[in-house]
Amino acid sequence: MKSESQVAVITGAGSGIGKACALRFAHAGANVVVVDCDDKAGQQTVNDLKDIGTEAIFCHADVSREQNCIAFAGQAIHRFGHIDVLVANAGIRAFGTILENTEDDWDRMLAVNLKGVNFSCKAVLPKMIEQKSGAIVLIGSTTAMTGRTNMPIYDVTKFGVLSLNRSLAATYGKFGIRVNTICPSKTITEFHLNKAKAQGISPDAFRAQFEDYGLLGRAGEPAEIAAAVYFMASQEASFITGQHLMVDGGYSIGAKPFT
């Protein structure tokens, strides 16, 4: 089957920023391929998309496994006939200092956040090359550039994503494929709200903790990241490639709000 609508493949679309991206593309009329290693969460996203009239399928995949990525790209092509957009969003966290981090932490983080992003891109690229078109949006992180104390491996992987971004953009631009990265800063997802709830902290009280954050005095919301991802993937960004955009309420410029 060849679909006339845009087809967006989104990894880690079972929750948080990935789910917000799925909804953003769906509201713009795209068909959505929901990729996640969490079947329940991924299927729930598909159900939510179908509720708003979107054609959506769920593909179970652990993006750190290359064969899983080849499989989700195949499922997307089988169902819709083409792949216009990949949002390589799936990512995991590891906390602690370098002294606390283990070899296993390094292997796990590199496997998902770096190799997984690479395998996801590698899986869709043959179809995009054949089409001579495609937009890939990687999800980085503001802290890859600013640095911080307690997530060194995570920040290394996100810095690696920026390098991959440039390599992919340089190599595949001649096929009409654009590659860009959106770098969110603190973005409040269900993960954070559930963690807060377990500690007896309400969503409002949790958000209030960020009143000194960035230049806008608040953390971001998943829909705000999804809006930037959508822009980068859209025709509005047709001459933008190899770039990264900080979507961080001004956090990364390091300035203090004017008082």
Ligand X SMILES: NC(=O)c1ccc[n+]([C@@H]2O[C@H](COP(=O)([O-])OP(=O)(O)OC[C@H]3O[C@@H](n4cnc5c(N)ncnc54)[C@H](O)[C@@H]3O)[C@@H](O)[C@H]2O)c1
> Which residues of this chain interact with ligand X, rule CB under 6 A?
11-12, 14-18, 36-38, 41, 61-64, 89-92, 112, 116, 139, 141, 184, 186-187, 189, 191
Question: For residues 49 and 112, which CB has a smaller minimum distance to ligand X in the complex?
Answer: 112
Please state, in angstroms and rounded to a whole number, the distance separating the CA atoms of residues 124 and 137.
12
- Cβ atoms of 178 and 234 closer than 8 Å: no
Instruction: Give which of 81, 37, 74, 79 is closest to 56, Cα–Cα.
Output: 79
Q: How far apart are CA 89 and CA 24, in angstroms?
A: 14
| Residue 213 annotated to the active site | no
Name the minimum Å distance from CB 71 to ligand X. 12
Query: Are the C-beta atoms of 137 and 86 separated by less than 8 Å?
Result: yes
Nearer to ligand X, 31 or 89 (CB): 89
Residue 56 Cβ vs ligand X, minimum distance, rounded to whole Å: 15
Residue number closest to ligand X, CB atom:
16
| Nearest approach, Cβ of residue 239 and ligand X (Å) | 25
Would you state the structure tokens that stand for residue 205, as one six-digit string? 């009280």
- Which residue number, 160 or 184, has a Cβ lying nearer to ligand X? 184
CA distance linking residue 169 with residue 136, whole number of Å: 9
Q: Copy the structure tokens of residue 17.
A: 């920023």
To ligand X, the closest distance from the beta carbon of 39 in angstroms equals 9
In the chain, alpha helices (H): 16-27, 39-51, 66-80, 103-109, 116-131, 143-146, 152-172, 190-198, 203-208, 222-233
CB of 3 or CB of 72, closer to ligand X: 72
Minimum CB distance to ligand X smaller for 92 or for 129:
92
| Smallest separation, CB 173 to ligand X (Å) | 24
Pairing of β 244-247 and β 85-88: unpaired
CB nearer ligand X, residue 30 or residue 139: 139
Identify residue 4 by its one-letter amino acid code.
Answer: E
Q: At closest approach, how far in Å is the CB of 142 from ligand X?
A: 7
Catalytic residue among 154, 172, 213, 230, which? 154
What backbone phi and psi angles, to 5 degrees, belong to 183? -110, 100
Residue-by-residue DSSP string for 60-78: E--TTSHHHHHHHHHHHHH
Catalytic residues: 154
